[in-house]
Amino acid sequence: MNHYAKPIKFFAFTLLLTWAAWFAAAYFSHQPGGEGLHLILTIIGSNIPFFAALFMVLGSGNRGLKRDFGTRLIGGIHLRDLPALLLLLPATMLLSIAISLLFGGSAEQFAFSELFSSAGLAGLLISILAPTFEELGWRGYGMDSLRSRSSLLKSSLLFTLLWAIWHVPLFFANGNYQNELVHLGVPYVINFFVSLLPATIIMNWIYYRNGRSTLAAILFHIMMVLTAEAFLVQESVKFIQTGVLLVVAAGLVLYDRTFFMADGAPADLKKAS
């Protein structure tokens, strides 16, 4: 029996509970004195993918599935992929800032934000913990549940759609980054959703090349968040970075076409199931 082949159950559980928490958070974000509940409900919603993965894994009664979930948290990262894992996103951001200079952007965007200072310690902690718990759910169970049924490219496209839907309530919560994009304009909202596609493709390429290492996905996601917040960039630079990452993702698909197009789950996923 394939215990990973239950994507409907996992994503229905995740989306419904996350939306319940986040829409409630959005409501309280607009109420006087509701900031505390807004924060608590936002944190709870962010952890739902992890809770859903635990529910699926522990509820399966399958020792192999439990062992697989645990062992993928430790190591499994190939040295050959460390540059892509740690340097790709900062490099694309720096390139995007450099390109923005051609259109009148400021060189001050190369400066670091307060994220790495004592004043930004709380933000830095959140930037590390939030992606960690997300990936314990997404790559801990969710992505593999899609991959067990289709090729890497198809499952990546479907995951991107589901990941985008998952984020929707955040656009209604006062003070959230996504809500700030709404105030900036529709193009900024569209860019956020489009940016999820190359991020998913690149992250999945690293994840499966490293034997389904959840740790690799966690580190990549952390770098994605840190890179977005580490520099004093104008929000318009994010459009350029999305374009750069789309080129990188397309190049990976063309370079490793068989890897992305092959039907059927990889051998280690079949064994774990």
DSSP string over 11-51: HHHHHHHHHHHHHHHHHHHTSTT-HHHHHHHHHHHHHHHHH
Q: Is residue 254 part of a domain?
A: yes
Candidates 3, 38, 134, 229; catalytic one: 134
| 134 in catalytic set | yes
User: Residue 30 — φ and ψ, nearest 5°?
Assistant: -100, 5
Q: Is residue 2 part of a domain?
A: no
Query: Mean pLDDT across the chain, nearest whole number?
Result: 93
Q: Is residue 20 part of a domain?
A: yes
pLDDT of 250 reads: 98
Domain span holding position 82: 7-272
Report residue 121 as tokens.
């310690």
Q: Residue 59 CB: number of other CB atoms within 10 A?
A: 11
Report residue 129 as tokens.
């913990």
| 114 in catalytic set | no
Q: Is residue 1 part of a domain?
A: no
- The total number of structural domains in the chain stands at 1
Q: Which residues of the chain have pLDDT under 70?
A: 1-3, 119, 267-268, 270-273
Q: Is residue 46 part of a domain?
A: yes
pLDDT of 13 reads: 96
pTM attached to this predicted model: 0.94
Q: Is residue 120 part of a domain?
A: yes
Q: Is residue 165 part of a domain?
A: yes
Candidates 30, 38, 108, 167; catalytic one: 167
Distance CA 71, CA 90 (A): 29
Distance CA 145, CA 55 (A): 14
Q: Is residue 156 part of a domain?
A: yes
pLDDT of 2 reads: 64
Sorted by sequence, the CB contacts under 8 Å of residue 253 that are 6+ apart come out as 153, 201, 260
